[in-house]
Amino acid sequence: MNIDFSTLKKDFPILEREVHPGKQLVYLDSTASTQKPQLVLDAMDEYYQKHNANIHRGVYTISEEATQMYEEAREKVAKFIHAPSRRNVIFTRNATESLNLVAFTWGRAYLKKGDTILLTEMEHHSNIVPWQIIAAEKELKIEFIPVLADGKLDLQAYELMLNKKPKVVSFTHMSNVLGTITPAKRITELAHQAGALVVIDGAQSVPHLPVDITDIDADFLAFSAHKMCGPTGIGALYGKLDILNAMPPFLGGGDMIRKVTFEGFTTSDVPAKFEAGTPAIAEAIGFGAAVDYLNSIGMEEIARHEQEIAKYGLEQLEASGIKVIGPRESRGGVLSFVMDEIHPHDIAQILDSEGIAVRAGHHCAQPLHLKFGLPATTRASFYLYNSKDDVNSLVKGLDKVKQMFDR
Contact between 385 and 15 (Cβ < 8 Å)? yes
Spatial neighbors of 343 by CB under 8 A, at least 6 apart, are 360, 376
Contact 276, 256 (CB under 8 A): yes
Residue 1: predicted pLDDT: 61
Measured in whole angstroms, how far is the alpha carbon of residue 278 from the centre of its chain? 24
Of the CA atoms within 13 Å of residue 330, those in its CB half-sphere come to: 11
What pTM, to 2 d.p., does this model score?
Answer: 0.97
| pLDDT grade for 172, boundaries at 50, 70 and 90 | very high
Answer whether 32's CB lies under 8 Å from 335's CB.
Answer: no
Residues 6+ apart with CB under 8 A from 286: 36, 40, 41, 43, 44, 225, 230, 231, 234
231 and 36 in contact (C-beta within 8 Å)?
Answer: yes
Q: What angle do CA 211, 217, 222 make, to 5 degrees?
A: 55
Say yes or no to pLDDT of 132 above 80: yes
Q: Which of 296, 295, 288, 316 has its CA nearest to residue 382?
A: 316
* Predicted pLDDT of residue 57: 83
Sort strands 220-224 and 235-239 into parallel, antiparallel or unpaired: antiparallel
Q: Which fold has domain 42-295?
A: Aspartate Aminotransferase; domain 2 (3.40.640)
pLDDT at 169 > cutoff 70: yes
Q: Considering the chain, what is the average pLDDT of its residues?
A: 96
Query: In the predicted model, what is the mean pLDDT of residues 268-290?
Result: 96
Given this model, what pLDDT does residue 119 score? Answer: 98
- Measured CA to CA, the distance from residue 330 to residue 266 in angstroms comes to 47
For residue 340, what pLDDT is reported?
86
**In this structure, what DSSP letter does residue 208 have?**
T
Residue 364 designated active-site: yes
**What is the structure's pLDDT at 329?**
84
Longest dimension (CA), the chain: 73
Check pLDDT > 70 for residue 124.
Answer: yes
Residues 6+ apart with CB under 8 A from 196: 118, 162, 165, 166, 167, 168, 169
C-alpha to C-alpha distance for 315 and 32, rounded to whole angstroms: 23
- Mean pLDDT for the stretch of residues 275-299: 97
Nearest to 250 by CA among 276, 224, 221: 276
CATH number of this structure's domain 5-30+298-404:
3.90.1150.10
DSSP secondary structure letters along 363-378: TT-HHHHHHTT-S-EE
CB atoms within 10 A of CB 24: 13
Q: Is the peptide bond before 271 cis (omega within 30 degrees of 0)?
A: yes
Residues 6+ apart with CB under 8 A from 255: 56, 57, 268, 272, 275, 276, 277, 278, 279
Q: Pairing between strand 377-381 and 334-338?
A: antiparallel
User: Of 172-176, 188-192, 242-246, 250-254, where does mean pLDDT reach its minimum?
Assistant: 250-254
d(CA 386, CA 357): 12
- Inform me whether the pLDDT recorded for 2 exceeds 80: no
Is the pLDDT at 193 greater than 90? The verdict is yes
Mean pLDDT along residues 372-381 = 97
Considering 32, 364, 374, 395, which one is annotated as catalytic?
364
Closest to 394 (Cα-Cα) out of 286, 284, 319? 319
The answer to whether residues 37 and 383 touch, using CB atoms and an 8 Å cutoff, is no
Residue 47 scores a pLDDT above 70? yes
So where are the chain's domains?
A: 5-30+298-404, 42-295
> How confident is the model at residue 390, as a pLDDT?
98
Q: How far apart are CA 76 and CA 9, in angstroms?
A: 24
